[in-house]
Amino acid sequence: MISMKSKKLTKYDIKNIKRGLFFISPWLIGFMVFTIYPFIASLIYSFSVYNGVTASKFVGLKNYIQLFQDPKFYTALYNTFYYAIIAVPLGIVLGVLVALLLNQPIKFLSFFRTAIYIPVIVPTVAVSILWIWLLNPEVGLINWLLSLFGIKGPGWLADPKWSKMALILMAQWGIGQSVLIYLSGLKNVPKELYESADIDGANGFTKFFHITLPMITPLILYNLIMGVIGSLQYFTQAYVMTNGGPMNSTLFYALYLFQNAFQFLSFGYASAMAWILFIIIAIIVYILLKTSARWVFYGGQ
């Protein structure tokens, strides 16, 4: 087919646009009804002083300027990036590895899959309490395991130097979610690809790197992008377990934002924080998407 770089829409193009819009219409309608107004409202708040209740007062860029002069802003950014840079890749590697383990022809598969997914189902309050015990500096399981190797475990959640690492470890319990996603993708890999590779005498490693991995790269991209979006907005565990401490070492961006919104009643300031984070996330995700063509293999092509 000769691709003509013509800016005019052909009848075929228009037909396809109509089809596309038809299919995405549920989302589009929902977007316009439920999402647009809150987004615009929060953008306006970011240029105002607003306590959430009485009318807001327009102050231009004041919130943003104050933000850049706020030491806690930088602390929060540092903590959040520290968390994201370690937790996201770690979660992806572990998720893929565990999914591969579960993709083997083993007995009791249902049992193992359920076990991996259980921490995702259990209520947050139970998970938090249990990890507080696991990370207990004196009698916790983690430090006990370390002591078997002669290592003296740190204070974890009580130690400003180790508190983020403690939360990163805890987050790995949630990999059951991404494991399930990879498993559904692994099931889709056509068996003939493996069979023909076997005939060609390929070993496990080759099969993994040339068949398995490429086939699930779209799902790895999903977990990567969702991981970035999620980890840069990490909030719940820090709020429930540490409340930013000790000494602001777990003051994550979304937690500081929340404190500004609902404890200090500085809604305008919190909105400015939100939009800065929005821009940061948008840039990172855009870069990830654009560079993904190089390593993501879509079976459709």
Among residue numbers 243 through 272, which ones bind other proteins (CB under 8 A)? 243, 245-248, 254, 257-258, 260-271
Q: What minimum distance in Å lies between the beta carbon of 249 and other proteins? A: 10
Q: Do 182 and 94 contact (CB within 8 A), yes or no? A: no
| 63 contacts other proteins (rule: CB under 8 A) | yes
**Cβ partners under 8 Å of residue 214, min gap 6:** 297
Q: What minimum distance in Å lies between the beta carbon of 101 and other proteins? A: 6
| 197 contacts other proteins (rule: CB under 8 A) | no
Q: How many C-beta neighbours within 10 Å does residue 40 have?
A: 10
The footprint of other proteins on this chain (CB under 8 A) covers a number of residues equal to 140
Q: What minimum distance in Å lies between the beta carbon of 158 and other proteins? A: 3
| 210 contacts other proteins (rule: CB under 8 A) | no
Q: What minimum distance in Å lies between the beta carbon of 86 and other proteins? A: 19
| 114 contacts other proteins (rule: CB under 8 A) | yes
| 196 contacts other proteins (rule: CB under 8 A) | no
Q: What minimum distance in Å lies between the beta carbon of 263 and other proteins? A: 7
Q: How many C-beta neighbours within 10 Å does residue 269 have?
A: 25
Decide whether 82 or 230 has the Cβ nearer to other proteins.
Answer: 230
| 93 contacts other proteins (rule: CB under 8 A) | no
Rounded distance between C-alpha atoms, residue 155 and residue 89, angstroms:
25
Site for other proteins in 120-149 (CB under 8 A): 120-127, 129-130, 132-134, 136-140
Decide whether 4 or 33 has the Cβ nearer to other proteins.
Answer: 33
Which of 84, 91, 15, 103 lies closest to 229, judged by CA?
84
Contact pick of 86, 90, 102, 197 for other proteins (by CB under 8 A): 102
Q: Do 98 and 179 contact (CB within 8 A), yes or no? A: yes
Q: How far is CA 38 from the centre of its chain?
A: 22
Q: Do 108 and 262 contact (CB within 8 A), yes or no? A: no
Q: How far, CA to CA in Å, does 232 sit from each of 85, 88, 255, 281?
A: 10, 10, 11, 8
Contact pick of 81, 90, 160, 194 for other proteins (by CB under 8 A): 160
Contact pick of 91, 95, 119, 227 for other proteins (by CB under 8 A): 119
Which of 178, 189, 184 lies closest to 213, judged by CA?
189
| 287 contacts other proteins (rule: CB under 8 A) | no
CA dihedral 237, 239, 243, 247 (to 10 degrees): 60
Q: What minimum distance in Å lies between the beta carbon of 209 and other proteins? A: 17
User: Which tokens hold the place of 88?
Assistant: 């996201």
Site for other proteins in 214-243 (CB under 8 A): 215-216, 218-219, 221-222, 225-226, 229, 233, 235, 239, 241-243
Q: What minimum distance in Å lies between the beta carbon of 194 and other proteins? A: 11
Q: Do 93 and 173 contact (CB within 8 A), yes or no? A: no
Query: Dihedrals φ, ψ of 207, to 5°?
Result: -60, -40
